[in-house]
């Protein structure tokens, strides 16, 4: 079997997600609406210690009234996960105030704090390192780390309380000059790399790097399991893999089965500030090598709450490969050629980025392109599942995107032999 060599492609540019900073004086009035029966929002001068323009919410008694904002920011930076909001309470009663964040390809997250029991303004801080996944599965705490395009600010969530409140100065998220130190592509082949990254977990379990058998006689990772229930190959990655930069999110590995029985093989990914995710596939019922594909657009959150499917989009530095998970089966298996890659889609060309301008972003109806090259510009737009939703060859100026649903997309741009990929947010 031909060996695949390692390449780790570092994210060499940053996408245009700005730090959240809404003050309703210079921005924000076009981003906010209200949700809830008998609920209305108005931008007008505040009262008391804040007489600048603020967002005022009148609630006639809806249980889930909220301020709804269209935003575009990230919580990937581990040092910038606190969002602060100036809140005006019109009563001398402490009130629960919640921020819920939603984004394409990531779980909704929620943080609730209690205001002071006084009339007036105060600054509330929402720490998203202690958020909960808010999608019907409240058992899952999380350290939020996604990209979000929608923010809800709830007051008295779940309580039918008529009220008058106001908010101002919403600040937080990643600063514009922060970029994650992570890889967009990773290949482990045990020939040129990998032997220093792998260990084994499980009683009576051992891993060895040695020549394979059958159709693959190159160096592979062999796992001997004496009958442990959760034996696994454990990889501590020296460079975290960033699934937010992969369009397909379908890693593959070569698997050697020593028995003529189909076996469940699972990949579990863990990373700081993101939920563990896992995908399981079944091998063929034959002795020998095969290539297995793991589709992380249909992963499950694997931390005791199996009710939550997810399209994994975090940054992960630990990988487990389980064989016969949950079954006390003595076995001999091997793995090789673990590939996280989108081929050319995962390797943006910096030179090409300087030749092409794309605006506006976020966009609603049209995206415009300009280039200083005489070569034809071809574009292809992919959704978060890696599906091509629009392709335009020889782009002249504007591209109509009004038929696309709101959310996060990836645009692959080709100019001659050069390619680059950018993120695009559709409102």
Tell me how far the alpha carbon of residue 286 is from its chain's centroid: 36
- Phi/psi for 323 (5° steps) reads -125, 130
Contact by Cβ (8 Å): 121, 50: yes
Across 390-399, b (16+ Cβ under 10 Å) vs e yields beeeebeeeb
- pLDDT surpasses 60 at 7: no
- pLDDT surpasses 70 at 305: no
**Cross-strand pairs, 316:** 241
How far apart (Å, rounded) are the C-alpha atoms in residues 72 and 396?
A: 28
Going by the DSSP 8-state scheme, the letter that residue 352 receives in this structure is H
How far apart (Å, rounded) are the C-alpha atoms in residues 402 and 389?
A: 12
How high is the pLDDT of residue 45? 93
How high is the pLDDT of residue 27? 84
Among the residue ranges 51-55, 144-148, 269-273, 295-299, the one predicted with the least confidence is: 144-148
Output the six-digit token pair for 56: 């005022």
Mean pLDDT throughout 300-306? Answer: 64
Range of 163-172, 242-251, 357-366, 381-390 with top mean pLDDT: 163-172
How far apart (Å, rounded) are the C-alpha atoms in residues 90 and 345?
A: 52
Output the six-digit token pair for 229: 């229930």
How high is the pLDDT of residue 347? 34
- pLDDT surpasses 70 at 316: yes
Contact by Cβ (8 Å): 333, 323: yes
- pLDDT surpasses 80 at 41: yes
- pLDDT surpasses 90 at 131: no
| Bigger pLDDT: 35 vs 183 | 35
How high is the pLDDT of residue 385? 63
How high is the pLDDT of residue 124? 94
Output the six-digit token pair for 60: 């006639």
Can you tell me whether residue 51 is helix, strand or coil? Answer: coil
Please list, in sequence order, all residues whose beta carbon lies within 8 angstroms of the beta carbon of residue 407, skipping any fewer than 6 positions away. 104, 149, 383, 384, 425, 426
How high is the pLDDT of residue 314? 78
Among the residue ranges 63-77, 116-130, 275-289, 347-361, the one predicted with the least confidence is: 347-361
Mean pLDDT throughout 373-393? Answer: 83
How far apart (Å, rounded) are the C-alpha atoms in residues 27 and 209?
A: 58
Q: Nearest-CA neighbor of 210 among 197, 225, 195, 198?
A: 195
What superfamily in CATH does domain 20-172 come from? Answer: Galactose-binding lectin (2.60.120.430)
Mean pLDDT throughout 216-220? Answer: 86
CATH 2.60.40.1220 in the chain: give the residue spans. Answer: 348-426
Range of 15-29, 296-310, 399-413 with top mean pLDDT: 399-413
**Cross-strand pairs, 219:** 211
- Protein fold of 348-426: Immunoglobulin-like (2.60.40)
- pLDDT surpasses 90 at 137: no
| 186-344: in CATH 3.90.1010.10 | no
CATH 2.60.120.430 in the chain: give the residue spans. Answer: 20-172, 186-344
């Amino acid at each position: 079997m031909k060996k695949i060599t390692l390449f780790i492609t570092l994210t060499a540019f940053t996408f245009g997600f700005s730090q959240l900073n809404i003050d309703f004086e210079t921005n924000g009035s076009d981003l906010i609406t209200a949700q809830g029966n008998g609920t209305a929002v108005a931008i007008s001068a505040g009262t008391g210690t804040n007489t600048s323009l603020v967002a005022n919410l009148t609630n006639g008694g809806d249980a889930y009234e909220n301020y709804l904002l269209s935003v575009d920011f990230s919580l990937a930076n581990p040092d910038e996960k606190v969002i602060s909001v100036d809140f005006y309470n019109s009563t001398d009663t402490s009130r629960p105030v919640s921020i819920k964040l939603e984004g394409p390809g990531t779980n909704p997250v929620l943080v609730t704090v209690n205001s002071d029991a006084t009339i007036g303004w105060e600054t509330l801080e929402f720490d998203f390192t202690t958020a909960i996944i808010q999608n019907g599965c409240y058992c899952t705490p999380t350290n939020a780390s996604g990209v979000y395009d929608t923010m809800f600010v709830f007051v008295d969530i779940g309580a039918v309380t008529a009220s008058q409140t106001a908010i101002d100065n919403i600040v937080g998220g990643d600063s514009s000059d922060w970029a994650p130190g992570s890889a967009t592509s990773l290949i482990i082949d045990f020939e040129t790399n990998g032997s220093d990254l792998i260990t084994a977990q499980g009683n009576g379990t051992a891993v060895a790097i040695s020549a394979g058998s059958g159709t693959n006689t190159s160096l592979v990772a062999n796992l001997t399991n004496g009958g442990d229930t959760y034996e696994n190959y454990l990889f501590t990655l020296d460079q975290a893999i960033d699934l937010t930069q992969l369009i397909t999110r379908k890693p593959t590995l070569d698997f050697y089965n020593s028995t003529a029985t189909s076996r469940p093989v699972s990949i579990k990914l863990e990373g700081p500030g993101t939920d563990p995710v896992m995908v399981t596939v079944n091998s063929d019922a034959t002795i020998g090598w095969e290539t297995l594909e793991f589709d992380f657009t249909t992963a499950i959150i694997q931390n005791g709450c199996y009710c939550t499917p997810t399209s994994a989009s975090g940054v992960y530095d630990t990988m487990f490969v389980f064989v016969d998970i949950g079954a006390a089966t003595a076995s001999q298996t091997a793995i090789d050629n673990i590939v996280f890659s989108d081929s050319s889609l995962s390797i943006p060309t910096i030179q090409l980025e300087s030749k092409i301008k794309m605006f506006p972003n976020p966009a609603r109806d049209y995206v415009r392109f300009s280039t200083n090259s005489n070569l034809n510009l071809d574009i292809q737009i992919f959704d978060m599942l890696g599906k091509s939703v629009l392709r335009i060859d020889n782009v002249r100026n504007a591209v109509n995107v009004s038929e696309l649903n709101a959310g996060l997309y990836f645009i692959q741009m080709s100019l001659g032999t050069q390619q680059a990929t950018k993120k695009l947010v559709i409102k």
